[in-house]
Amino acid sequence: MKKEKNLAVDDAVYSEEALKLAAYVFEGRFRVSLKRRGAKTEILFPGAVPEDAAGEFLNEALNQQCRLDLMKKNSKVANIIVTRMLLSASGGNKKGGVKK
């Protein structure tokens, strides 16, 4: 165990949502506090934390950021698929239109 450790990350790399999700993942292992400071977010690990806590946290934050970015990118395609599926289930024709 090591004493308190602090990091600062650029908001252009990690969104606030990704950092909060990563903090939630580690909730049972150690405490994480986030503080916005201009274009950066300070990540605080109060109290005794494992030696590799900061690295593990940043890896998880990157994983969460990738998930969020992919979700945004693929959400339009997912909506089209769901719309076509619902139209098909409601009796719409195979080309995505509705029967007349």
With 70 as the cut, is the pLDDT of residue 81 above it?
Answer: yes
Domain 5-89 sits in CATH 3.40.50: no
For the segment 63-80, the average pLDDT, to the nearest whole number, is 91
**Phi/psi of residue 72, each to 5°?**
-65, -40
Q: Give tens-digit pLDDT for 20-59.
A: 999 999 988 888 999 999 999 999 988 878 888 899 999 9
- Write down the domain spans for the chain: 5-89
Within 8 A by CB and 6+ apart from 2, the residues are 48, 49, 50, 51, 53
Cβ count near 94 (within 10 Å): 8
Q: Do residues 71 and 77 make contact, with C-beta atoms less than 8 angstroms apart? A: no
pLDDT at 16: 94
3-state per-residue secondary structure call for 43-90: EEECCCECCCHHHHHHHHHHHHHHHHHHHHHHHHHHHHHHHHHHHHHC
Among 16-20, 50-54, 92-96, the minimum mean pLDDT is found in 92-96
pLDDT at 67: 95
